[in-house]
Amino acid sequence: MITRPLDLASKLRPEPRNFGALFFVNAGLLGLFFSLFGSRFILAPGVEIDFQLPRVAGANSNARPPTHVITVTNSGQIFTGGGPRKLEELPAWLRDQVRGAAEPTLLMQVEARVPHSVVAKITGEAGKAGFVHVLYAAEEPGAQPGSSGR
């Protein structure tokens, strides 16, 4: 029985002995492109590790399922489902999200150390955009951090 009728292995070029300079040029160009054209969806910064929601008695009493969720950190970063946003970009994003939602409900996960002026501004912009409900994520005082189902 003939197992290698065309003898293709003898017609291949031999493997290169070293990587040469082309390998290092390719690696350098990849690093350059990732640093210049990095996508905010792939290389976006994460939420801070010490992110803590405020503790409020009765935090789960008026819970309802949200249609949209944003996270606001103490450093001024606002994370939406589509990536990080600046405070100036948020009104346009909120208006776009209201379209097509039957009863738009916004859940704001606001870190405990965020100034109230920022929270009030976001709440006002959400109301202007057409959100029916604006909810604040909070934890019960006796609960373990992160156990409130947020």
pLDDT of residue 139: 78
Domain extent, residue 72, equals 47-150
32 in a domain, yes or no? no
Residue 129 scores a pLDDT above 70: yes
Distance of CA 33 to the CA centre of its chain: 22
Look at the chain and report how many structural domains it folds into: 1
Question: Is the pLDDT score of 2 beyond 80?
Answer: no
CATH number of the domain residue 64 falls in? 3.30.420.270
In angstroms, the CA 71 to CA 96 distance is 18
> Is there a domain that residue 51 lies in?
yes
Q: In whole numbers, what is the pLDDT of the chain averaged over residues?
A: 79
Positive or negative torsion for Cα 91, 49, 116, 57: positive
Higher per-residue confidence, 70 vs 17: 70
> What global pTM score does this model have?
0.59
- What's the pLDDT at 84? 87
Q: What angle do CA 114, 137, 39 make, to 5 degrees?
A: 70
97 occurs within a structural domain: yes
pLDDT of residue 125: 92
How far apart, in Å, are the Cα atoms of 56 and each of 7, 71, 120, 125, 141? 76, 18, 18, 24, 6
Whether residue 75 lies inside any domain: the answer is yes
Higher pLDDT, residue 143 or 72: 72
